[in-house]
Each structure stands twice: as structure tokens, then as C-alpha cells.
């Protein structure tokens, strides 16, 4: 599959009016292989977590989750090399064909540790909106929460939005792969971010 990579700035000054869409809340009790209400499997089996701390048993620890969402429910997405991805998706209805919309998600790189050993370490966020893939990068595992926003023009009365861990080789020294966490974002117009690499599938690629 070929990709056309375009590096763009997300900071814009509102050339076109858009309608931000509210995605289902990312809430729920701590549970492995689980999704928040209103979401479903995209690939693999994400987990609902509450920030840093012991994961699933007493061996592994989630780490490098900081900032205002740190103690709230969120979804942990990881990838075991080379292609054991985790992701979830939701569908929003009631759109007007031809109108401009945006969807947003909060995300942060994180880590899973076994004492001082990196089991999973960092990675990128992949958002799939109406079949188009958008890859969001950040400064590293020591980043803070940031908002990823995608704008699109409605082609039908509904749109499917997916979020997935991407780039399991972010840190080649980790034993298994990479991981990120995602959480709610308020509907947002032109949310700032450092850089987005927008991956668009070429027709027939």
C-alpha cells in the first residue's frame, strides 16, 4: 500500500466554518480487552485504564502518563511488533452531506515497564476518519496531553472515526513494541499541535 505524506501545520485562522462533532465519552471501569460505551473494536483488544500504575497484575506498570487527564478513565492502545495493533472506532450520525466537520481526540505517548525494562515505549496516533488515515506525532514519551483534530467534508449522513496505536518501532530498544493512551477531547476548531503527518491513501494504491 502506497502513501502520500504531507507535513502540514494544524494551526489555522479559520478560512472555512466547520462544525465540531462530539465523540462518545471515553469512560468506564478499569478492564482489559474492553471499550467505552459507544465505541467498538477496530483492531485488537484495547484496555480501559486510569493513568499510571499497576496494569492487570503486579508485574507491569503503566508509566509516563501525566497532566490533567492522568487520574481519569482512558484507553490504552499498544502494538506488539510487527503488526499486533490495537484500536477502536465509533460512528457519528446526523451529518449534512457537503458540510465541513471536525473531530478531536486527546492523546499522549506512554510506556509499560517491568521494573527498569521498557516493554512498550511510545508511538504515534493514527486517526482514521471517513476512510482517510491521519498520523499524529509528538515530541516523545515525556510529552503531555495534546489534541489531535481532523477536518473533513461529509460524503454521507454518517462518519466512522477510528483511533489506533501506530509505529511500534518508535523505540527499537523496547522488548515488545509501543503504546499510547487516548481520552476525550472537547469539540474543537483548529486545535493546535506541533506537527501532523497526514497519510492519504493514493487512489488504487
pLDDT tens, residue by residue, 134-169: 999 988 898 999 999 999 999 999 999 999 998 877
pTM of the model as a whole: 0.82
At 179 the pLDDT is 93
**Alpha-carbon distances, residue 1 vs 4, 128, 135, 166, 199 (angstroms):** 10, 16, 15, 16, 11
Q: Across 97-106, 134-143, 194-203, which has the greatest mean pLDDT?
A: 97-106
Task: Give the model confidence (pLDDT) of 54-100 as tens digits.
Answer: 877 678 899 999 877 766 899 999 998 888 899 999 999 999 999 99
Q: What is the DSSP letter of 31?
A: B
- Give the span between the Cα atoms of 167 and 37, in whole angstroms: 27
- Indicate if the pLDDT at residue 7 is higher than 60: no
- Give the span between the Cα atoms of 86 and 115, in whole angstroms: 24
- Give the span between the Cα atoms of 20 and 6, in whole angstroms: 23
CA nearest 125: which of 39, 19, 46, 29? 46
Higher per-residue confidence, 4 vs 181: 181
Task: Give the model confidence (pLDDT) of 8-42 as tens digits.
Answer: 333 333 445 689 999 999 999 989 899 999 999 99
What is the grid cell recorded at 41? Answer: 473494536
Amino acid at each position: 500500500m502506497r502513501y502520500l505524506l504531507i507535513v502540514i501545520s494544524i494551526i489555522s485562522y479559520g478560512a472555512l466554518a466547520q462544525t465540531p462533532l462530539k465523540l462518545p465519552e471515553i469512560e468506564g471501569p478499569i478492564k482489559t480487552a474492553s471499550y467505552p460505551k459507544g465505541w467498538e473494536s477496530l483492531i485488537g483488544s484495547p484496555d480501559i485504564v486510569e493513568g499510571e500504575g499497576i496494569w492487570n497484575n503486579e508485574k507491569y506498570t503503566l508509566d509516563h502518563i501525566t497532566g490533567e487527564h492522568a487520574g481519569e478513565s482512558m484507553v490504552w492502545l499498544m502494538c506488539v511488533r510487527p503488526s499486533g495493533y490495537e484500536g477502536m472506532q465509533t460512528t457519528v450520525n446526523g451529518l449534512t452531506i457537503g458540510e465541513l466537520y471536525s473531530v478531536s481526540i486527546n492523546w499522549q505517548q506512554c510506556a509499560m515497564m517491568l521494573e527498569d525494562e521498557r516493554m512498550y515505549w511510545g508511538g504515534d496516533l493514527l486517526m482514521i476518519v471517513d476512510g482517510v488515515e491521519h498520523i499524529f506525532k509528538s515530541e516523545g514519551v515525556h510529552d503531555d496531553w495534546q489534541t489531535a483534530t481532523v477536518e473533513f467534508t461529509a460524503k454521507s449522513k454518517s462518519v466512522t472515526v477510528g483511533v489506533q496505536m501506530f509505529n511500534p518501532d518508535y523505540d527499537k530498544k523496547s522488548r515488545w513494541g509501543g503504546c499510547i493512551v487516548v481520552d476525550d477531547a472537547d469539540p474543537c476548531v483548529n486545535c493546535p499541535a506541533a506537527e501532523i503527518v497526514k497519510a492519504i491513501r493514493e487512489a488504487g494504491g
